[in-house]
Amino acid sequence: MHLVGSYAEDDYYNEIKIFIEKNKLENHVFIYGSCADVYHVLTQSTIGVLSSKSEGLPVALLEYGLAKLPVVATYVGDCGLVISNKDTGILVEPENHQSLAEALISYINDLDLRQQFAENFQNKVKASFSESSSIEALMNLYKKHQR
């Protein structure tokens, strides 16, 4: 497991570090902090996970889609806009560890499901959230208001 993203060395961080050490997971769980080349890290990943109590529109999900990762995310903020149907990712309720585990296990046990969801999700992100789709939507809006 690769944990990528900025963090504060607070109680939560210390609990994770203690859990890793206590369970002898130092060779399996890696904490990187912020990375300059997120896309490179993501292309080496198998599943994208965004588990949080609150979000706006998480850029991480868009990055997962561009990297063609199947995703599991908590149903908070605008995650439901990005993962809007049953074949682009798996949404779970926040703080529901059981559902999160079940979603991850379903991907781990089913390579075809992982690949299909990853492809569908990448297509959704490119069609709805990419630079080119945003420019096209903006241009259409301008054209509509010029009439």
The DSSP string of 34-88 is --S-HHHHHHT-S-EEE--S--SS-HHHHHHHHTT--EEEES-TTHHHHS-STTS
pTM here? 0.82
Statement: residue 71 has pLDDT above 90: yes
Reported confidence tier of residue 147, pLDDT bands at 50, 70, 90: low
pLDDT at 28: 94
| Residue of 61, 71, 66 lying closest to 133 (CA atoms) | 66
